[in-house]
């Protein structure tokens, strides 16, 4: 992941050598490592990472919790900059736990602010808002104006990222008022930048330009080169919208040169993308392809899949315009596949990580139990190899334990069936593997809670998980009753399929009957309104994971079913044309016409009447 080139290694080695005289057991040495790591974060991420990694190792060795916390913040920030947010979250949560235990509430609030960005990048919107409001509460209890400025600015940025413009403006202006009264011009740089972004997204380009120029002036006065580079991208974007293309190109070039000099791959990739799309708009296709391909390489290098997706989409358009249709088709296919694989990221809300943790722990216990049975059987075989002298002893032991082992085996089988379909579980037990298979003529069902956010705000996390579990338990009973196979839950979404692993000629009919019962339950007894989407077709199904088994299905049929759910309405069952053809003689359906679906174009859709 990290390029340990000569320059990066030289800086890291030089810094280490300069400080080594203090002694590696000394906490001051660790603090020096962290201080230098912080200074290098915006200049050289590789060196920043190496220094923080050494600080963490030494801090753990000497049980220096302050150093562990500081190193986790640095490492979390580096991984977040690199776009590897799962790793960032791990380090940031560890820092938060340490600060909570130490009762350092100022640092706790700052940890929560960093966490909000990690949650947002992972698609966990509600969790991001939750930790930010926790940070705001702490800042108010501490009566810490400086901290309040940071929290209000972050809340403005966070609301803006979800197009909550009114709330974003309110928070930004509150932060600006506090910063002016407090004389904090450094933070005004980011507040003005945030207000500029807010107006830009609302197509208020002249207002955006005023704020961007104010931010630019303050960053130059403060000597904040990185913020100035970031604002150059903003200025380029707004000049592009104002059709001042020469100015836009000039700012893109300067920002690009600056980011290259600092080896800031994520920002460099973004500039290449913006510059490439502008050049395409101006008809400079060769230059456009150069910048877009540079952006693609860098997004792939830092594993930023959403960035890869948007660059692929832009590349496909340029290749199509230049009549390179073969290349355009190849790129568009890559884009479609990647976009479909990312679709469910939008579904993860505040309970996603709680459910994931709960289900993971449960599955680990189940798999651990199954593994325990395998270990028991292996030990029994090893004992028998010892010779016939122990035969009668083991015969006696086996006789005594026969009933207990049978009960454990039954329990083991039951637990495995909770994880996998019966046929797949049997195959796994008999051969140790289960191959992925293609299935024709199946029907996929997606459900989603419509009023989830408003309801979740009224409940504690524990109550929320319990409420969703109550609904999903009923869903489980309904789909089992109608012969469907539950695949998984994704946050507040539920997915099931009919027609596999055993063929079922009534797969679509059974799925709709199950959907009707789910809709009726949600309408009369459930805590949430439900939206349902159904599609029929071919899928591939199989086991993912080696230790934590999960049965999943893939294919365009699944993606289209998800689009059916997204385009449904509260209390309604929205089906595709392929499902309609399967059930039109059994159920009354209302044709909705051709409706635009994300990445699918216009699709015929029908509401099932019930």
Q: CA angle at residue 253 from 252 to 255, to 5 degrees?
A: 65
Cα–Cα distances (Å) from 548 to 23, 365, 540, in that order, read: 44, 10, 20
The mean of the pLDDT values for the chain is 79
On the question of pLDDT at 464 being above 80, the answer is no
Structural tokens at position 572: 């309604």
On the question of pLDDT at 208 being above 90, the answer is yes
Question: What backbone torsions phi and psi does residue 146 show, to the nearest 5 degrees?
Answer: -60, -45
Give the β-pairing of 573-576 and 530-544. parallel
pLDDT value at residue 296: 93
- Residues 251-275 have a mean pLDDT of 89
On the question of pLDDT at 9 being above 80, the answer is no
Instruction: Judge if the upstream peptide bond of residue 501 is cis by omega within 30 degrees of 0.
Output: yes
On the question of pLDDT at 569 being above 80, the answer is yes
On the question of pLDDT at 273 being above 70, the answer is yes
Q: Which of 149, 160, 110, 103 is nearest to 132 (CA)?
A: 110
On the question of pLDDT at 433 being above 70, the answer is no
Angle formed by the axes of helices 165-182 and 145-161, nearest 10°: 160
In this predicted model, what pLDDT tens digit does every residue of 393-430 receive, in sequence order? 444 444 444 545 445 455 445 444 455 556 555 555 55
| Contact between residue 305 and residue 84 where contact means Cβ atoms under 8 Å apart | no
Decide which of 139 and 362 is more confident. Answer: 139
pLDDT value at residue 314: 92
pLDDT value at residue 342: 54
**What DSSP state is assigned to residue 609?**
P
Structural tokens at position 41: 């974060």
Q: How far apart are CA 40 and CA 78, in angstroms?
A: 11
In this predicted model, what pLDDT tens digit does every residue of 218-237 receive, in sequence order? 988 888 888 888 889 999 99
Question: What CATH code is assigned to 436-608?
Answer: 3.30.70.1230
- Residues 565-573 have a mean pLDDT of 92
Beta bridge partners of 590: 607
Q: How far apart are CA 286 and CA 318, in angstroms?
A: 9
Which helix (H) or strand (E) segment holds residue 601: the answer is strand 601-608
Which helix (H) or strand (E) segment holds residue 540: the answer is strand 530-544
Angle formed by the axes of helices 105-121 and 125-142, nearest 10°: 160
Give the β-pairing of 589-597 and 530-544. unpaired
Q: Which of 328, 249, 306 is nearest to 281 (CA)?
A: 249
Q: Which of 327, 306, 302 is nearest to 317 (CA)?
A: 327
Q: For domain 1-143, is the CATH number 1.25.40.10?
A: yes
On the question of pLDDT at 24 being above 60, the answer is no
Residue 72 neighbours by CB under 8 Å, 6+ apart: 56, 91, 92, 94, 95, 98
In this predicted model, what pLDDT tens digit does every residue of 318-369 receive, in sequence order? 998 888 888 888 888 787 777 665 544 444 433 444 454 444 444 444 444 4
Q: What share of the chain is helix, strand, coil (3-state, %, to 5)?
A: 70, 10, 20
* 11 Rama class: left (phi>0) / alpha (psi -120 to 50) / beta: alpha
The count of other CB atoms within 10 Å of the CB of residue 272 is 25
- Residues 21-28 have a mean pLDDT of 56
HSE at residue 447, side-chain half, CA atoms within 13 A, is: 32
Q: How far apart are CA 255 and CA 257, in angstroms?
A: 6
- Residues 105-115 have a mean pLDDT of 89
On the question of pLDDT at 15 being above 80, the answer is no
Structural tokens at position 306: 């959403």
Q: How far apart are CA 206 and CA 187, in angstroms?
A: 22
pLDDT value at residue 334: 83
Alpha helix locations (H) across 432-460?
452-456
In this predicted model, what pLDDT tens digit does every residue of 42-81 receive, in sequence order? 667 778 889 999 999 999 888 899 999 999 999 998 888 7
On the question of pLDDT at 245 being above 90, the answer is yes
On the question of pLDDT at 253 being above 70, the answer is yes
Cβ density class 37-71: b for 16+ within 10 Å, e for less: bbebbbebbbbbbbbbbbbbebbeeeebebbbbbb
Question: What backbone torsions phi and psi does residue 204 show, to the nearest 5 degrees?
Answer: -100, 75
Which helix (H) or strand (E) segment holds residue 227: the answer is helix 225-241
- Residues 556-576 have a mean pLDDT of 91
Helix, coil or strand: residue 434: coil
| Total number of residues shown for the chain | 610
Q: How far apart are CA 198 and CA 186, in angstroms?
A: 19
Structural tokens at position 211: 């704020």
pTM of the model: 0.49
On the question of pLDDT at 211 being above 70, the answer is yes
Domain ranges of the chain: 1-143, 352-425, 436-608
Which helix (H) or strand (E) segment holds residue 361: the answer is helix 352-385
Place of tokens 């810094």: 15
Place of tokens 């050289």: 44
Which helix (H) or strand (E) segment holds residue 576: the answer is strand 573-576
pLDDT band at 500 (very low <50, low <70, confident <90, very high): confident
């Amino acid at each position: 992941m990290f390029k340990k080139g000569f320059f990066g290694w030289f800086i890291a080695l030089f810094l280490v050598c300069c400080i080594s005289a203090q002694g590696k057991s000394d906490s001051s040495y660790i603090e020096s490592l962290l201080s230098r790591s912080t200074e290098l974060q915006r200049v050289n991420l590789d060196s920043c990472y190496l220094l923080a990694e050494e600080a963490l190792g030494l801090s753990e060795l000497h049980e220096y919790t302050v150093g562990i916390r500081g190193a986790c913040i640095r490492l979390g920030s580096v991984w977040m900059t690199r776009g590897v947010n799962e790793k960032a979250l791990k380090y940031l949560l560890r820092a938060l736990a340490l600060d909570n235990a130490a009762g350092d509430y100022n640092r706790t609030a700052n940890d929560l602010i960093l966490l909000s960005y990690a949650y947002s990048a992972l698609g966990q919107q509600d969790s991001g808002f939750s930790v930010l409001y926790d940070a705001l509460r702490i800042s108010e209890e501490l009566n810490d104006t400086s901290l309040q400025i940071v929290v209000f600015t972050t809340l403005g940025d966070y609301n803006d990222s979800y197009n909550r413009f009114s709330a974003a403006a309110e928070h930004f202006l509150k932060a600006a008022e506090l910063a002016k009264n407090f004389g904090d011009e450094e933070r005004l740089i980011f507040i003005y930048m945030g207000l500029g972004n807010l107006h830009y997204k609302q197509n208020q380009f002249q207002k955006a330009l005023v704020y961007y120029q104010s931010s630019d002036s303050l960053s130059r006065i403060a000597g904040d080169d990185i913020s100035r580079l970031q604002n150059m991208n903003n200025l380029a974007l707004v000049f592009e919208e104002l059709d001042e293309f020469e100015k836009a190109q000039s700012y893109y070039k300067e920002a690009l040169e600056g980011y290259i000099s600092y080896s800031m791959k994520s920002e460099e990739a973004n500039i290449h993308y913006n510059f490439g799309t502008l050049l395409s708009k101006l008809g400079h296709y060769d230059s456009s392809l150069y910048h877009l391909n540079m952006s693609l390489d860098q997004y792939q290098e830092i594993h930023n899949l959403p960035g890869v997706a948007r660059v692929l989409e832009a590349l496909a358009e340029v290749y199509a315009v230049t009549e390179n249709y073969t290349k355009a088709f190849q790129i568009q296919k890559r884009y479609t596949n990647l976009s479909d694989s990312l679709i469910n990221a939008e579904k993860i809300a505040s309970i996603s990580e709680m459910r994931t943790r709960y289900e993971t722990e449960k599955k680990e216990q189940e798999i651990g139990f199954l593994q325990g049975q395998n270990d028991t059987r292996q030990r029994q075989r090893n004992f028998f190899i010892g010779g016939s002298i122990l035969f009668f002893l083991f015969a006696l032991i086996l006789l005594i334990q026969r009933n207990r082992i049978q009960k454990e085996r039954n329990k083991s089988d039951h637990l495995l069936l909770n994880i996998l379909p019966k046929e797949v579980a049997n195959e796994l037990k008999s051969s140790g593997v289960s191959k992925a298979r293609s299935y024709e003529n199946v029907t996929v069902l997606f459900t989603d809670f419509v009023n989830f956010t408003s309801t979740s705000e009224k409940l504690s996390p524990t109550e929320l998980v319990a409420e969703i579990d109550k609904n999903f338990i009923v869903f489980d009973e309904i789909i089992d009753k109608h012969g469907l196979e539950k695949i998984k839950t994704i946050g507040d979404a539920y997915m099931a399929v009919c027609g596999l692993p055993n063929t079922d000629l009534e797969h679509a009919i059974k799925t709709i009957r199950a959907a009707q019962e789910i809709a009726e339950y949600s309408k009369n007894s459930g805590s949430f309104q439900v939206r349902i989407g159904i599609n029929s077709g071919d899928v591939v199904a199989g086991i993912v994971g080696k230790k934590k088994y999960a049965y999943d299905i893939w294919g365009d049929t699944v993606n289209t079913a998800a689009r059916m759910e997204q385009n449904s309405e509260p209390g309604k069952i929205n089906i595709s044309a392929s499902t309609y053809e399967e059930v039109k003689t059994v159920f009354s359906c209302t044709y909705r016409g051709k409706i635009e679906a994300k990445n699918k174009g216009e699709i015929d859709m029908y509401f099932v009447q019930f």
